A and B are shown apart, each in its own frame.
Chain A
Amino acid sequence: MAESRLAFPPCAGPVLDRPKILLVDDRWENLLATEKVLRPLEADIFKAASGNEALSLVLRHAFAIVLLDVQMPDMDGFETALLMQEHESMAGVPIIFVTALSKEEKYASKAAEIGAVDYIFKPINPDILKSKVKVYLDLHVQRAQIMRLNATLSQSNEELERFAYICSHDMQEPVRMMNAFAGLLAESAEDRLDDDSRRYLSFILDNARRMQKMIGDILTFSRIGREEITLETVDCEEILSEILSEFDDTIRKTQAEVTYSRLPCLETSSTLVRILFQNLIGNALKFQDGDHPPVIAIAAEQRGKFWRFAVKDNGIGIDDSFRTRIFTIFQRLHRKENYPGTGIGLSTCRKFVQLCGGDIDFTSVPGQGSTFHFTLPA
């Protein structure tokens, strides 16, 4: 079933076309001369004898460079350039003015205003013309390559995310079956099993539960960005107290002391605030050495356009060398036996909070505790 929902479009984009150069000049002999100079370059050359002709070519072709004569009857070079730039295929395309006019400053600045990147004076020096055009051609080719690479990357990224989503979604069913039937077996064959067999069954059950937790976490992670984020007025304090009641058992068992100051109401995603508090408070309670009860303080303050939240604990702390690693998916800093977890929580927090215009970071003194900060737009 999964295959039918996974579409793999052909991978690479089209082969890079030869770049196109547009020459615009009202005098045919000038066009031919320029063309002759540029012919050795790896490019196709198009010629237009007027501004109007140039505009109609721009409609049909995506050019890498335009060489534009300034002095033309009817529509001059400046006017042509302005009209050309209204066309979207001209975005970012360098226009080089070719002019016999005096090298007066005012033309230079007018050209620059219009967005010309360069200009060349007549009579043209063929070597200078050729080398200038070559520089812009090379830039164009590099830019096209980067854009193609980006498109390929974002496509494979999308495919990977879709793959993770479908995989984890479809894995829920088999893992639920393993857990259910191992559970049934443990129950119905209890008296007939020896100690080893019972232990093996409990390994199966433990691992099924762990796998289910991982699948659930991966699903949450991959849903961010796939599903629309609903912004609403969120009472952060109300959500915090809901989350704290979910941790009631742990808080009582560990005799944790949890305090918080007034938290704001923000225009944001309630799912995001929930995920942040769930993970940060869960971590603050979990990463403790067990020698003293956890002390956790939650606070928020407004800083310009952002609210900055802090979740502070007195836990084992994080060495600064793990700064990047800690927010990377599946990266764990401890053995599962000591501190269970899937290595997905903080990466989910970061992905989500950044998508909502905020960020997350931490400060820590190993052995004394950590403070996680996150920001949300006010």
Chain B
Amino acid sequence: MKPFQILLVEDNEGDVEMTLRAFKTAEPPCSLTVAHDGVHALEILRPEQGGTPDSKVHPPQLILLDINMPRMDGKELLEVVKSDARLRHIPVVMFTSSESPNDIRECYERHASCYVVKPFNGKKYAQALHEVVNFWSTTSRLPN
């Protein structure tokens, strides 16, 4: 079975490390591409626009998106993705430290598929990622 293709947009190396660790044991197996901010993510998502096609994931089946990032933050990227006819079908899961009610509302208003607060506890962090991936890859059906 082809691994589930995920684009992780995250600027914090620690979080990237934690996420990679979590997916080592994920079921079904996942293939993770990492973008360090919104601009980098768009380069991966739109290789035809002169970006570097450094991913085997074109397009990804799921985007895991942090909010606070340099250059282009998560909310801005979310807006771009959801207004691009070729990308807007991809579920976007917000994965962030922020518990701010404003952030939560603003992300859903921009059509985020769901909003997950990064758990403080390391084990629960991995567990949350497993649940998210399991839901989107197995429980729900995605186009093609």
A179-B102 in contact (CB<8A) = no
A residues in contact with B123, CB < 8 Å: 183
Which residue in chain A gives the minimum CB-CB distance to B125?
A180
Give the number of A-B contacts (CB < 8 Å): 39
A180-B122 in contact (CB<8A) = yes
Residues facing B in A138-188 (CB within 8 A) are 169-170, 172-173, 176-177, 179-181, 183-184
Given contacts A170-B68, A173-B12, contact A179 B120 (CB under 8 A): yes
B residues in contact with A169, CB < 8 Å: 98, 100
B97-A173 in contact (CB<8A) = yes
Question: Closest CB-CB distance, A375 to chain B, in whole Å?
Answer: 26
Residues facing A in B1-57 (CB within 8 A) are 12, 14-15, 18, 21
Which residue in chain B gives the minimum CB-CB distance to A181?
B14
A–B pairs, 13, beta carbons within 8 Å: A1-B70, A169-B98, A169-B100, A172-B98, A173-B12, A173-B68, A176-B120, A177-B12, A179-B120, A179-B122, A180-B14, A181-B14, A227-B101
Instruction: Give A1 to B102 CA distance when docked, in angstroms.
Output: 18
Residue from the list A177, A183, A227 in contact with B102, Cβ < 8 A: A227
B residues in contact with A1, CB < 8 Å: 68, 70
A residues in contact with B120, CB < 8 Å: 176, 179-180, 209, 212
A183-B122 in contact (CB<8A) = yes
Asked if B139 CB lies within 8 Å of chain A CBs, one says no
B18-A180 in contact (CB<8A) = yes
Asked if B131 CB lies within 8 Å of chain A CBs, one says no
Residues facing A in B89-144 (CB within 8 A) are 97-102, 118, 120-123, 125
A residues in contact with B70, CB < 8 Å: 1
Question: Closest CB-CB distance, A61 to chain B, in whole Å?
Answer: 42
A219-B99 in contact (CB<8A) = yes
Question: Closest CB-CB distance, A202 to chain B, in whole Å?
Answer: 15
A1, A176, A184, A219 — most chain B CB neighbours (10 Å): A176
Which residue in chain B gives the minimum CB-CB distance to A175?
B120
Question: Closest CB-CB distance, B43 to chain A, in whole Å?
Answer: 21
Question: Closest CB-CB distance, A168 to chain B, in whole Å?
Answer: 11
Known: A183-B123, A184-B21. 15 other contacts (CB 8 A): A1-B68, A1-B70, A169-B98, A169-B100, A172-B98, A173-B12, A173-B15, A173-B97, A176-B97, A179-B120, A180-B120, A181-B14, A184-B122, A227-B101, A227-B102
B97-A179 in contact (CB<8A) = no
A residues in contact with B68, CB < 8 Å: 1, 170, 173
Question: Closest CB-CB distance, A348 to chain B, in whole Å?
Answer: 15
B121-A172 in contact (CB<8A) = no
B residues in contact with A181, CB < 8 Å: 14
Which residue in chain A gives the minimum CB-CB distance to B70?
A1
Which residue in chain A gives the minimum CB-CB distance to B119?
A176
Instruction: Give A174 to B5 CA distance when docked, in angstroms.
Output: 28
Residue from the list A170, A177, A227 in contact with B14, Cβ < 8 A: A177
Instruction: Give A49 to B95 CA distance when docked, in angstroms.
Output: 71
Instruction: Give A219 to B103 CA distance when docked, in angstroms.
Output: 14
